[in-house]
Amino acid sequence: MNAVPRVLLVNPNSSPATTARLRALAEAAHPELRFTAIADAEAPRILTGPEALDAAAARMARLDLDQPEFDDVAAVIVCAFGDPGADALRERMRVPVVGIGAASVRAASGLGPWAIATTTPALAQRLSQLAQDHGGAGFLGSVFTTSAAEHLAGDEARTVLELRAAVAEAAARGAVAVVIGGGPLADAAAALHAESADVAIVQPLLAALDEVAAALLAAPAH
């Protein structure tokens, strides 16, 4: 048996590009782990509203755990910010299941007043609930880009530009940390993290990876 733990990244949208980038970012961040990534072929390319999030959660709850990607997996990360289906998967599996949304809330709430910057205003209520559910002390609310997610998709430069403005607005409200909320926004989050000096940029994927790595690498060898 390979001694290196394998983590399965589950992308609840159908974008092959997003799925590939999530795996590449994970491999760069934690080379001590192995990664496999799968996507939901029945989902839209991005999840922008409550209905899409609920539909994704329902599909995640029915996910076929007999497919080979789940063999000998040490942990699962649900890579959409609303964590669709994470609770259902956790009930069905005997390994850690972490949602990037919950992990980022836990990371941000330990830093001081914080906010979410993202591209999905239709999910405002869900984001507030996410913060409340996972102990998001100091949550100041969400700041949204001027353009909707559908119009920013595929335009990385514009996405970073608009998220940068949202981060600045969050900082003006008193945030010392800002979560970049969205699995497909992982590259933008990395870019903003690299350039930000005054505000801590919390990257949801990395927050989840750090939690999983800490759990797996602290576990006794068998």
Contact 149, 120 (CB under 8 A): yes
Domain(s) labelled CATH 3.40.50.1860 in the chain stretch across 6-100+207-218
Is residue 195 predicted with pLDDT exceeding 70?
yes
- SS3 assignment, position 176: coil
Is residue 207 predicted with pLDDT exceeding 90?
yes
pLDDT tens digits, residue range 110-152? 999 999 999 999 999 999 999 999 987 899 999 999 998 989 9
Is residue 220 predicted with pLDDT exceeding 80?
no
Q: Which residues neighbour 101 within 8 Å (Cβ) at sequence distance 6 or greater?
A: 80, 81, 82, 83, 130, 134, 181, 204
Domain(s) labelled CATH 3.40.50.12500 in the chain stretch across 102-204
Dihedral over Cα of 143, 146, 23, 89: its sign = positive
> What are the CB-based long-range contacts (under 8 Å, 24+) for 32-35?
32/4, 32/213, 32/217, 33/4, 33/5, 33/6, 33/7, 33/209, 33/212, 33/213, 33/216, 34/2, 34/4, 34/5, 34/6, 34/7, 35/6, 35/7, 35/8, 35/9
Residue 42: pLDDT band by 50, 70, 90 thresholds? confident
Residue 166 burial (CB count, 10 A) = 23
Residue 45: pLDDT band by 50, 70, 90 thresholds? confident
Separation CA 19–CA 31 (nearest Å): 18
Q: Look at the chain and count its residues.
A: 222
For 156-172, what is the mean pLDDT?
Answer: 97
Among 86, 124, 92, 131, CA closest to 108: 131
Is residue 2 predicted with pLDDT exceeding 70?
no
| pTM confidence score | 0.93
Contact 113, 141 (CB under 8 A): no
For 172-179, what is the mean pLDDT?
Answer: 98
For 200-211, what is the mean pLDDT?
Answer: 98
CATH of region 6-100+207-218: 3.40.50.1860
Rg (CA), the chain: 16
Q: Report H helices in 39-185.
A: 50-61, 86-92, 100-109, 124-133, 149-152, 156-172
CATH of 102-204 among 3.10.450.50, 3.40.50.12500, 3.40.47.10, 3.40.980.10: 3.40.50.12500
Side chain identity at 149, as an amino acid letter?
A
**Token pair of 53, please?**
């999030």
Question: What is the pLDDT, as a whole number, of residue 141?
Answer: 96
Separation CA 189–CA 163 (nearest Å): 9
